[in-house]
Structure 1
Amino acid sequence: MAEYDVLAVFCGPDGRYGNELGVVRDGSRMPDRTDRQAFAGRLGFSETVFVDDPERGAIDIYTPTLRLPFAGHPCVGTAWLLDVPELVVPAGVVGARLDGEFSWIEARPEWAPPRTLRQYGSAAEVDALAVPAPGEWIYAWAWEDEAAGRVRARGFPGRDDGIVEDEATGAAALLLTHELGRALNVRQGRGSQLLTAPQPDGLIEVGGRVRLGRSASTRPAGTPRPAP
C-alpha cells in the first residue's frame, strides 16, 4: 500500500478552492521513477510529490505524464506539510517559510517550466475563455486592478492527460511576476489566491494558504488485493 496526503494549495480567503496535491511522505517505499510516474498518473492530480528526505526537504515532482525539475504549488504545499526552511528539487534549492496563514517559497524564474503568458483586456474576457485544444501551456491573465497589482488568471496546461485547466499555478504566477517586475495578488481558477513578490538577486517569492484535505492509500500497480 502506498500512503499519501492530499493537500489543497493556494486556497481562497475563505479556505475553499486551491489546487489539489498528492504527497507521498515516504518516497523510499517507491524509489523507481517509472513506478512514481505510473502512480502519479493513477492519482490524476496536476502534480504528485514524493518526499525522499523529509529533514533535508528533498522531493521529486511528477505530473500525470512528466517529471518536473521544479513546480510552484507542489513546493508551496510540501513546504507547509514538512515545515522545513528549504526544499531540494532537481532545479536547485528552494527557500521556504511560514508566515501566519501563508506558506511561501522563493525560487528562480528560469526554473519554471515554459508557459505562454497571454494578456487579455479584462477579467471578464478571461472568465469567458473556453478550454483551448491541447498544445502549448497557456496562462491567460488580465488586470482586475493594475494599481493594486490584482490579477485575474486561468491556467491551461495543454496536455492530453485529463488536466484541462489548472486551478492554481505557482510557476506561472512566478513567471508573470518576473515579467512585470512587481508584486501580484492573483485570483486563479474558481477562487484560488496566489501572492507573489520579486526579491533580491532575481528570486521570486510565491505564497498562499494550504490545508490538509485527507490522507489515503492505494496499491501499486500489479499488487494483488488481500484475500477477504
Structure 2
Amino acid sequence: MTDYDVLRVFCGPSGGYGNELGVVRDGSLMPGRDERQTFAAKLGFSETVFVDDPERGIIDIYTPTLRLPFAGHPCVGTAWLLDLPELVTPAGVVGARQDGEFSWIEARPEWAPPRTLRQYATAAEVDGLAVPPLGEWVYAWAWEDESAGRIRARGFPGRMDERGVSRSSGAGACTGGIGEDEATGAAALLLTARLGRALNIRQGAGSQILTAPQPEGWVEVGGRVFLER
C-alpha cells in the first residue's frame, strides 16, 4: 500500500481528541483522481490529502466520497507536517504559520462549504443534543464565556456525500457517514466571519480550535497537531 502519514488535528490541551487526517506525501504515486478517491475511501478518514508538490505546497483533498477544493483541518495538519508558509489548493492559496504549539492557516470564508450555524442559549443545551437525522450540515454552538470569546460547539454533518465513513475514535466519530464531526475548521471559519471576533472553540468530545478575523475578509484558524504514525 502507498505510504501515508496519520495526523490528529485540533487536539485538546492534553494532546487528545482532534480529527484524524491521512496525508500521502508523494502524490505522484497516485496521480489519477479516480485512484485517489478509491484510496481515500479505503483509508476511511474524514479527509485524505495528496501532496502534489511538497516544495510549493500544492495539495489535493478528498473525503471518502468526493474531492474538496478546501477544508480546514486538512490544511492545518498538512501545513504543520510540511512546515511551509503556504499551501496551494483548488480554492486558492492558503497562508500558514507555526506559533508555539499551534499551527495556523489563513483562508477565506467563501471557500468553506455551506453550514447551518445554529446558536443555542447555553453550552449545556449543546452538550445535550442528540445526533440529528439526515439533512442539513449543522454547526451547533453556544457561548461558554462571551466576553472571553469561548464557545462550545458540536458539528453534525447529516450527509453521507460529504463525510463518508470516518475512522475517528471517541464520542465525536461519524458512523456510516452520519453522526458527529469531532473538529471542523471550515465551520469555525464561517462562525468567526459571522461574529467578527477571535474565538476559542471547544468542539466535540474535547477538541480545541482557535480563530481570529484578519483584514480584507480573511480568517485565521489554528490548533494543535500531533503525528500518530
Matched, 1:6 2:6: yes
Q: TM-score, normalised by structure 1?
A: 0.92
- SS of the equivalent of 1:207 reads strand
Q: Report the counterpart of residue 147 of structure 1 in structure 2.
A: 147
**Structure whose alpha-carbon radius of gyration is higher:** 1
**Alpha-carbon deviations, 1:11-59, whole Å to 9, x = none?**
0011111100010111111111111111111111111100000000000
- SS of the equivalent of 2:56 reads coil
Q: Report the counterpart of residue 215 of structure 2 in structure 1.
A: 200
Q: Report the counterpart of residue 22 of structure 1 in structure 2.
A: 22
Q: Report the counterpart of residue 190 of structure 2 in structure 1.
A: 175
Of 189, 192, 205, 1:190 maps to 205
Q: Report the counterpart of residue 67 of structure 1 in structure 2.
A: 67
Give the counterpart letter for 1:132 in structure 2: P
Q: Distance in 2 between matches of 1:40 and 1:208?
A: 23
Q: Distance in 2 between matches of 1:66 and 1:126?
A: 29
- SS of the equivalent of 1:118 reads strand
Q: Distance in 1 between matches of 2:149 and 2:55?
A: 36
- SS of the equivalent of 1:76 reads helix
- SS of the equivalent of 1:147 reads helix
Q: Report the counterpart of residue 126 of structure 1 in structure 2.
A: 126
- SS of the equivalent of 1:168 reads coil
RMSD of aligned C-alpha atoms? 0.8
**1:179, CA displacement in angstroms?**
0.2
Count matched residues: 214
Which segment drifts farther, 157-166 or 142-151?
157-166
**Alpha-carbon deviations, 1:184-210, whole Å to 9, x = none?**
000001100000000011100000000
Unaligned 5+ runs, structure 1:
215-228
The runs of 4+ residues in structure 1 deviating greater than 3 Å are none
Q: Report the counterpart of residue 158 of structure 1 in structure 2.
A: 158
- SS of the equivalent of 2:180 reads coil
**1:66, CA displacement in angstroms?**
1.4
- SS of the equivalent of 2:222 reads strand
- SS of the equivalent of 2:4 reads strand
Matched, 1:210 2:225: yes
Give the counterpart letter for 1:50 in structure 2: F
- SS of the equivalent of 2:49 reads strand
